[in-house]
Amino acid sequence: MNTRSGQGAARGRRRRSQDPGVFSPDGLWKRWRRSSAYCARVDFSDWLLALHVLAAFALIAALVLFSAVMVAGWAVDRPQRAIAYSRLAAIGGPLVGAGAALALLLGIALAIDLDDYQIWDAWILISIALWIVGGAAGSRVGAHYTDAQELAQRLAGGGDETSAELAAKLSDRRVATLHAITVTAFTVILVLMIFKPGA
């Protein structure tokens, strides 16, 4: 968690900080940034970085949760148990959505805020491309499990009998592959964020 350790002071120097004057909108923005940094004793860029990393943690934590649910629910054939797992998976839905969106937006804001990085740096562009790949694969996995949850709820209306259709839906290898693509894409993004090749 020691991302870009101890950069607050140096980063302040590297930022685009030519003061345009107090009365311009940009000047007011920069004054607000200085005052908020003073109050919180945390630099504005460090706030951006902290929130960016927290969003990434939310995203990866949700992927860990989905993986655990997927493994635990593999080939489950009783609807009540499938419903229990789907309730747990529902926690991950908002986290993965908000985490992915905020990680991207705050990452772009950081690239704009810091002189050391540009939005068109290769490692940033590759990360954005992987974000799209991971997001697309993940949304297909989500749609599949929503269908499985609806099937489980329909089946639960008639008791808790075993269902081969439900078991097949919960052990779909194509969906497991899509989930693996999602996890791999976001893991490679993490590696790129730390190594920053070419930066």
Partner 1 sequence: MSLLAAIRPDSWNWALLVHVAGAMILVGGLLTAGGAAALARRDETGALIRLSFRTLAWVALPGFIIMRAGAQWIYDKEGFTGDDPAWIGIGFGISDLGALLLVIALVLGGVGLRRSRRGGGEGMLRVSGIIALVLLAMYVVAVWAMTGKPS
77 binds partner 1 (CB under 8 A): no
Rounded to 5 degrees, what angle do the CA atoms 144, 188, 15 make?
120
Judged by CB under 8 A, the number of residues near partner 1 is 47
1 binds partner 1 (CB under 8 A): yes
Contact region for partner 1 (CB under 8 A) — 78-86, 103-111, 147-155, 173-181?
78-86
Nearer to partner 1, 25 or 41 (CB): 41
72 binds partner 1 (CB under 8 A): yes
By CB neighbour count within 10 A (0-12 exposed, 13-18 middle, 19+ buried), where does 56 fall?
Answer: buried
- Among positions 15, 54, 123, 128, the unique one binding partner 1 when judged by CB under 8 A: 54
Rounded to 5 degrees, what angle do the CA atoms 58, 64, 68 make?
145
Q: Smallest gap, in angstroms, from Cβ of residue 21 to partner 1?
A: 29
Contact present, 72 and 85 (Cβ < 8 Å)? yes
Measured CA to CA, the distance from residue 199 to residue 65 in angstroms comes to 33
Q: Smallest gap, in angstroms, from Cβ of residue 111 to partner 1?
A: 16
Contact region for partner 1 (CB under 8 A) — 24-32, 80-88, 134-142, 164-172?
80-88
10 binds partner 1 (CB under 8 A): yes
Q: Output the CA–CA distances (angstroms, integers) from residue 55 to 80, 91, 124, 181, in the order listed.
A: 32, 15, 17, 20
- Asked whether the CA dihedral 128, 133, 138, 140 is positive or negative, the reply is positive
Nearer to partner 1, 136 or 190 (CB): 190
- Among positions 16, 31, 36, 87, the unique one binding partner 1 when judged by CB under 8 A: 87
Crossing angle (nearest 10°) for helices 122-156 and 79-113 = 160
List the structure tokens of 182.
Answer: 């999602």
Q: Smallest gap, in angstroms, from Cβ of residue 109 to partner 1?
A: 14
Query: Using CB under 8 A as the criterion, which residues of the chain lie in contact with partner 1 when the complex forms?
Result: 1-11, 40-42, 46-47, 49-50, 52-54, 56-57, 60-65, 68-69, 72, 78, 80-81, 84-85, 87-88, 91-92, 95, 187, 190-191, 194-195
